[in-house]
Every structure is written in structure tokens, then in C-alpha cells.
Amino acid sequence: MAALGDREILYIGIDGGGSKCRASILNSDNRVLGTGISGPANPLHGYAQTIDSIVRSATLALSDAGLPPQALGELVAGVGLAGVNMPSLYNEMDAWAHPFKQMFLTTDQHSACLGAHRGGDGAVIIAGTGSCGYAWVNGEARLLGGHGFPHGDKGSGAWMGMEAVKYLFLALDGLAEDSRLKDELLSALESTDAQQVFERIGGKSSSHYARLAVPVVEYAEAGDPVALAIVSDGASYINDLADKLFEMNAPRLSLIGGVAPRLKQWMAPHVVERVAEALDPPEFGCVYFARQCVAEAASGSAGAIEADGKALFG
Amino acid sequence: MAALGDREILYIGIDGGGSKCRASILNSDNRVLGTGISGPANPLHGYAQTIDSIVRSATLALSDAGLPPQALGELVAGVGLAGVNMPSLYNEMDAWAHPFKQMFLTTDQHSACLGAHRGGDGAVIIAGTGSCGYAWVNGEARLLGGHGFPHGDKGSGAWMGMEAVKYLFLALDGLAEDSRLKDELLSALESTDAQQVFERIGGKSSSHYARLAVPVVEYAEAGDPVALAIVSDGASYINDLADKLFEMNAPRLSLIGGVAPRLKQWMAPHVVERVAEALDPPEFGCVYFARQCVAEAASGSAGAIEADGKALFG
């Protein structure tokens, strides 16, 4: 078993969201020494579970790297979390008596953006269950969208699922045209009538709705007009996000999440041609963030990244 | 104080919904002898509260009529309730060991429709917090819409509020045009930015969203293009409901609820010219329903109104 010497500082990047928390320990060459995955880590849904998931993923990453659990106290952690663009949650998490040598906290959008552009300036559009746009340029953040389900997050999987369910109810009442999508949705919801559809999906969480995005995208790809109308409307919103992010002079734009890359085929050509692959995953972005914080502290500069996170909230 | 003799059967009509329960005792000439209003009576939100509200409104109506509380057991009750188009809730309520001489249970749509057409055939479009269409023709019910918030109930107050909030988030991100409606919505939500809007309304119930329908309709009446787009879309759905109800040969159509009459100005002329005033309120419809049940029982006919309510569910 290897032991942490005083040769180099090891960084751990921890990316936490509503469904899981992923940690990677990197050496100074950005080589992954170990990775750990644990449960949900969104402080909006529970502080205790969030810190438990963070510690658990970090301990698993240490074990994966062949390092002992007590090495936790020697790691410098960059933590990117969903939910902490709410200042109250940021402050709560930032006040945590964490077990690391140092911890630097930011939003999951910021860490995803830093990861996608290998620590450099750029923008991301994240569309999975939810959706948002984020740019980090010249030390300034801009967050667009991300207002939540069902009143926001257009173009996301949950939004597509909701649009599909709205259509399904109309079609079942004879108030919208029939389509193959209707039959597919009924089948996906194991339903034959509106009452059953209501019981399967009514009042359910965004992730339930997001599952219906799969048939919507597939049927759109097969040319179904109803599905096409939904994905086109979603793609048009993603175009609008992209145009706003370009206005900020973001040098690169990446599409992240399970849904965004699938929508590319319906997005505007001038947007698509400027989309660049994400270079590294969000955990790497967490490490880049922590390194920037350490470097700025060493240079004595308060820099763009305020300790109270104010610069992060766009 | 009057006492119930054996001269005539007194009927009580009880109309229960998500916010209140209203009871009226009618004599055989449909004269109101007494009225009582109590709290919520939607069994979807609680069985105990529902039966409590029913008994309370009935007791208040007895008192208003100058009759003693023990006269409850001499009243024939027609009860129209929200929620009981779900068979499980219908059966639960129907199995209640009620305090009346007899109780006949139906949906609030059915009682509203019978009230609007003084016991005759016809159709109603109900749009307040929620929305639906309902026709009762030749002993057959047809329910359209009414699938709930936020996936259904287009054209309702809650739907208009949701559309307004979606627009507001887009406008705050610079992704939709500014309008006077934006400022009005911010003021109604006592907010100045997206974070505050989210805290005021995000994840709130349909009735919170429905409150925003007031500025939407007012601004549409004043010509605001964003508000006009919302109400026009809602009115177009109401038109579609009306056309489907006309296909059922409903001899009359009435618009009921806080929102439906306000949308008339944006509805299609061929629909508007066929809209007729509701003749009586829903509590009267509850009494008409109970009388029909009693008459059919007396004639030995099972009739169109099944004891298990199956005919009601459209």
C-alpha cells in the first residue's frame, strides 16, 4: 500500500448531484490515482446525506488509489455541488467542519465548465434531467436558466417528458392528433387510458418525467411529427442559451448531460459548428478549481474567486 | 323554530371542492330554506376533513333554515364532490356511514352541469384554478380534460399562472422580450430577481399559480402582447373543449368558474354565440341529482345513474 509522502499535494475532485457523487484523486500530471462513487449529494435535498456522500466517495477513491482512509486529511478537495448557487446552501456547506486538508466549494455548473475547458474560460450547456447554461469568462460567472421543474429547465429531459405527457392527455381526449408517439408513451407508462397515465406520472418528480425523453428523442429521430415538434422547441431554447453565452465571448462551448448532445441535430447550424467536445469530466473541473484557489491564495490575490462564493452566482 | 313535519321530503344539495363546501336545503319549489358554508371537501386531500366539512355545512344550513341539528337524519342529500371521478375515492365516500336519511353521491362536474341546466341535459366548461369540460346527454357522461396541474388543465387559472412564470424566468434571463406583464408579475411575487421568484412560487400548489391569472387576464385586456398570447392559447383550448362537447349534441353549454367567463372575449365566435348562462348553482344540481335518483328508485328503474357511479366517469 502506498503512503502519502511530502513529495506532492494530492487533489481530490468531488462532483455531487441529485443522484450520485463522484470523486477522483489526481496527481500533478492529472493522472487519476483512484475514483469513488457514492449516493446523492445535493444539499437542497439534505445536508447530512450530502456530507455523508462526499466523505464516502472520497474514502472509496482513497481505497481505489491504495491509500489509507486517514490520508483524507492530507487531500486538498475541490467540491462542485448542485444546489449551492442558493447562497444559504453555499454558506451551510462552506461552514462544514470537513475532514480534508483544505476544501474549496463551488457550484456543479462551475466545475463542469472548468472540466470541459481544462480549467480555461468557456461555457457549457448542461441538459440532462434539468437544463441550464453557464459561462465562466475573465473570472465572471453567468448562469442562464436552471430555474427548476416544472416552471423552467426548458429543453431538459424532464421538460420533454412533461410536454409528452401534456400531448398524451390531449390525444386521449381527442384534442390532439394521434401519433405513434402516443402509443409508445402509453406503453412506456404501462397505461391504456388517462386515469392510468395520471396514476403513473401525475405529481411525480422530474426524474420520472425525464425517463419519457428517451422515446421522445427516438421518435423524433424516426420522423414522428409530434416528437419533432417537442425536440425542435427544446432545441430552439438551447440555441437561445448558446447565443447568450456567445455574447459573453466564451471561447469554447460544450454540451453536457444525457440530453444536450442528442438535441444537436435540431440545433441551429451556427451554434452546432461552434460546439466543442468537453475535454475533461466535472471532477477534473473540481480539481482545477481547487488548484486555482490555492494558487491565488499563495499569490496573495483575492482574485476573481471570492471565498464567500459571491462571484459564482452570476 | 320550524320543525320537519311529514308534509314533504326536504333535499339538501352539498357541493364540495378543494377550498370549500357549500350546502343548500331546498323545498319542493326549489326555494332555498337555508345555506351553510364550511371548509375543504376533496377526498383526494383527506377523507376525515371531507366528511367533517360535509356534516358541518349541512348543520349550518339546518341552523340557517331554523331547523334543529337532529333534522339531519330526515334530509335526502345530493352530494357532488371533487375527486370522486377516481373510482377508489368514489367507493370510499359512498361507503361512508352518513348521517342523512339517504345520500346520493356524484362528481362535482355532474352536479355543476345539472345545476347549470336546471336538471336537464347539457354541457359545462369549468375553468377556475383547474379546467375541464363535461357533458351529460341522454344519461351518458363525457369528461374532457381535468387531468390536473401542471400536466393538464390548460386554460385554467393555474395553467395561466404557470405560463406567466415560465415567461418571467425567460425574460429575466434576457431570453424573452420585456413587457409590462414582467414588471407586474415581479410586483405580484414581491420579487426583483429569479432567485426570489423561485422562492415565492417554485414547487407551490396550483392555487398559488392561479393567483397570477388575475394580472395575466388584466394585462391581456389592456393589450399586452405576452399576456394576450397566453390567454389566446388558453381560449383556443376552451374552444376545442366546446367543439367536442357540441359533438355530443349537448343542447346547452355554460361556462363556469372564475376564469372561463373572462376568457369568452378571446374564444371563437361560433362557440361564444352558443354559450348560455348557468341557470342554477351546483348545490341545486346536487338536489336535482338526488331527486332523479329517488324517482328512478321509485319507478324501479336502474336508469342511467348506476348506484356504483360507473356511468359518471365518462
Q: Nearest CA to CA, how far is B145 from chain A (Å)?
A: 7
The residues in A 176-195 lying below 8 A from B, measured between CB atoms, are: 194-195
Closest Cβ–Cβ partner in A145, A169, A174 for B173? A145
Buried b (16+ CB within 10 A) or exposed e, B280-313: bbbbbbbbbbbbbbbeeeeeeeeeebeeebebbb
With a CB cutoff of 8 Å and minimum separation 6, the contacts of A259 are A127, A128, A131, A155, A156, A157, A160, A213, A217
With a CB cutoff of 8 Å and minimum separation 6, the contacts of A143 are A85, A107, A109, A132, A133, A134, A313, A314
The predicted structure's pLDDT at residue B85: 86
Q: Hey, are the CB atoms on A237 and B175 less than 8 Å from each other?
A: yes
Please give the ipTM for the structure prediction. 0.85
The predicted structure's pLDDT at residue B300: 76
Partners of B228 in beta bridges: none
Collapsed DSSP state (helix, strand, coil) of residue B101: coil
Collapsed DSSP state (helix, strand, coil) of residue B19: coil
Domain ranges (residues) in chain B:
11-118+279-313, 157-272
| A66 within 8 A of A48, measured Cβ to Cβ | no
* Choice between B243 and A203, residue whose per-residue pLDDT is larger: B243
Dihedral angle sign, alpha carbons of residues A307, A113, A267, B163? negative
Q: Is A244 on the interface with B (CB under 8 A)?
A: yes
Q: Nearest CA to CA, how far is B178 from chain A (Å)?
A: 15
Closest Cβ–Cβ partner in B147, B150, B169 for A147? B169
Q: Hey, are the CB atoms on A175 and B237 less than 8 Å from each other?
A: yes
The predicted structure's pLDDT at residue B45: 87
The CA distances from residue A24 to A73, A75, B57, in Å, are 15, 11, 63
The x, y and z cell numbers of residue A128, run together, are 440532462
Q: Is B144 on the interface with A (CB under 8 A)?
A: yes
Residues on chain B touching A240 (C-beta within 8 angstroms): 175
Q: Is A96 on the interface with B (CB under 8 A)?
A: no
The predicted structure's pLDDT at residue B301: 64
Tell me the mean pLDDT in the region A74-85: 95
Q: Hey, are the CB atoms on A152 and B174 less than 8 Å from each other?
A: no
Q: Nearest CA to CA, how far is B279 from chain A (Å)?
A: 27
Q: Hey, are the CB atoms on B147 and A175 less than 8 Å from each other?
A: no
Partners of A12 in beta bridges: A25, A77
Question: Does 3.30.420.40 match the CATH number of domain B11-118+279-313?
Answer: yes
Partners of B13 in beta bridges: B24, B78
Q: Which amino acid, one-letter code, is at B302? A: A
Q: Hey, are the CB atoms on B244 and A175 less than 8 Å from each other?
A: yes
The CA distances from residue A145 to A167, A245, B162, B172, B218, in Å, are 24, 12, 16, 9, 27
Q: Hey, are the CB atoms on B175 and A202 less than 8 Å from each other?
A: no
CA angle A8, A14, A16 (to 5 degrees): 175
| B187 within 8 A of B201, measured Cβ to Cβ | no
Tell me the mean pLDDT in the region A290-304: 81
Q: Hey, are the CB atoms on A169 and B147 less than 8 Å from each other?
A: yes
**Listed residue (A167, A271, A269) closest to A219, CA to CA:** A167
The predicted structure's pLDDT at residue A314: 43
The x, y and z cell numbers of residue B4, run together, are 320537519
Q: Nearest CA to CA, how far is B177 from chain A (Å)?
A: 12
**Taking CA atoms, what residue in A is nearest to B206?**
A203
The reply to whether A11-118+279-313 and A157-272 are identical in fold is yes
Q: Hey, are the CB atoms on B151 and A175 less than 8 Å from each other?
A: no
Rounded to whole angstroms, how far apart are CA atoms B125 and B264? 11
The x, y and z cell numbers of residue A105, run together, are 466549494
Q: Pairing mode, if any, of strands A102-107 and A76-81?
A: parallel
Residue in A86, A143, A147, A209 to test binding to B, most B beta-carbons within 10 Å: A147
- How many CB pairs lie under 8 A apart between chains A and B? 62
Q: Is A203 on the interface with B (CB under 8 A)?
A: yes
Torsion of CA B230, B231, B233, B238, to 10 degrees: 150
Residues on chain A touching B193 (C-beta within 8 angstroms): none
Q: Is B244 on the interface with A (CB under 8 A)?
A: yes
Q: Hey, are the CB atoms on B175 and A86 less than 8 Å from each other?
A: no
Rounded to whole angstroms, how far apart are CA atoms A254 and B237? 39
* Choice between A301 and A189, residue whose per-residue pLDDT is larger: A189
Task: Report residue A205: phi and psi, to 5°.
Answer: -75, 170
* Choice between A144 and A18, residue whose per-residue pLDDT is larger: A144
Q: Hey, are the CB atoms on B166 and A175 less than 8 Å from each other?
A: no
Query: Measured in Å, how far apart are chain A's first and last C-alpha atoms?
Result: 44
Q: Hey, are the CB atoms on A169 and B152 less than 8 Å from each other?
A: yes
Q: Nearest CA to CA, how far is B173 from chain A (Å)?
A: 6
The x, y and z cell numbers of residue B184, run together, are 407586474
The predicted structure's pLDDT at residue A19: 84
The predicted structure's pLDDT at residue B18: 83
Q: Which amino acid, one-letter code, is at B135? A: A
The predicted structure's pLDDT at residue B19: 84
**Taking CA atoms, what residue in A is nearest to B240?**
A175
Rounded to whole angstroms, how far apart are CA atoms A91 and B47? 42
**Taking CA atoms, what residue in B is nearest to A152?**
B166
Question: Does 1.10.1040.50 match the CATH number of domain B157-272?
Answer: no
Tell me the mean pLDDT in the region A16-39: 94
Q: Is B169 on the interface with A (CB under 8 A)?
A: yes
The predicted structure's pLDDT at residue A5: 52
Torsion of CA B269, B271, B276, B282, to 10 degrees: -140
Residues on chain B touching A194 (C-beta within 8 angstroms): 147
Q: Which amino acid, one-letter code, is at A185? A: L
Tens-level pLDDT at each residue, chain B (314 residues): 445 555 678 999 999 988 899 999 999 999 999 999 999 999 988 999 999 999 999 999 999 999 999 999 999 999 999 989 888 999 999 999 999 999 999 999 999 999 999 999 999 999 999 999 999 999 999 999 999 999 999 999 999 999 999 999 999 999 999 999 999 999 999 999 999 999 999 889 898 999 999 999 999 999 999 999 999 999 999 999 999 999 999 999 999 999 998 999 999 999 999 999 999 999 999 999 999 999 999 887 654 454 444 455 54
The x, y and z cell numbers of residue B148, run together, are 390536473
The predicted structure's pLDDT at residue A262: 93
The x, y and z cell numbers of residue A204, run together, are 411525480
Q: Nearest CA to CA, how far is B167 from chain A (Å)?
A: 9
Closest Cβ–Cβ partner in A150, A154, A244 for B174? A244
**Is the previous residue joined to A150 through a cis bond, with omega within 30 degrees of 0?**
yes
**Listed residue (A79, A74, A66) closest to A23, CA to CA:** A79
Q: Is A269 on the interface with B (CB under 8 A)?
A: no
The predicted structure's pLDDT at residue B6: 55
Count the Cβ atoms, other than its own, within 10 Å of residue B273: 7
Tell me the mean pLDDT in the region A121-140: 95
